[in-house]
Amino acid sequence: MIANLQYGWTLFVNPIEDKHHWGLPAIQVAFTIFVVVETWLVPLEGYAVDKFGPKLVGVGSGILVAAAWTINAYADTLPLLYLGAIVGGIGAGGVYGACVGNALKWFPDRRGLAAGITAMGFGAGSALTVYPIANMIQSQGYEAAFLKFGVATDPLGRTESRQPYSLLTVSLLRPLARRRFSTRRPFLLLIRTRKPCVRLRWRVLG
């Protein structure tokens, strides 16, 4: 979901142009701004993770991403669209930096694999929502897609609570968990649902 501001952006470009007639180059400037802000600020966001912890930075960054989707839903001028790109870039970079940094700390002996799996999840989550976003744009308009998926991104709906877990053992990572945490309990992919969003999170049971 977080990465759809990057991977799913092309789905929105033509509908935005059809409504506002700003020109495709001007609309794509928003994407350029997003990528620059997302990548260049990651060192600062990584410093924030070290100082304040991944949970605070991750939740705060997720709120920024949700805000960016909402801004894009109501953007009726190019400056407002560019503002959404700036806010979204800060948020997406913060989430990515927090997740990757945390994965590297969890598995210092398997940093490459940990970073790779984290990056895979960052993109795979976006791939799963491409068709729903495209269908919503076609049936309800791009504004509805921005707004509704932005609400679903809001991490305030993903905070810790005493809800049942659905457990799926990830066999590939089980040896890593055993080695890192000196336990035979498996590394688990925990999927738990709570309306209105589906939460997917990694947890090690020690």
pLDDT tens-place string over residues 16-64? 999 999 999 999 999 999 999 999 998 898 888 888 888 888 888 888 9
pLDDT confidence band for 154 (50 / 70 / 90): low
How large is the average pLDDT for residues 82-91? 94
Please enumerate, as own/partner, the contacts of 108-111 that have beta carbons within 8 Å and a separation of 24 or more. 108/180, 109/179, 109/180, 110/176, 110/180
In the chain, where the domains are located = 4-154, 166-204
| Alpha-carbon span 134 to 166, nearest angstrom | 29
Distance CA 73, CA 147 (A): 6
Question: What token pair was written down for 26?
Answer: 């001007």
Q: In this predicted model, what pLDDT tens digit does every residue of 114-139 receive, in sequence order?
A: 888 888 877 777 777 888 889 999 99
pTM to 2 decimal places = 0.71
> In the numeric block, which tokens belong to residue 89?
């870039």
Give the model's confidence band at 142: pLDDT under 50 very low, under 70 low, under 90 confident, else very high: very high
Say if residues 170 and 187 touch (Cβ distance below 8 Å): yes
Task: Please give the Cα distance from 154 to 2 (Å, whole number).
Answer: 10
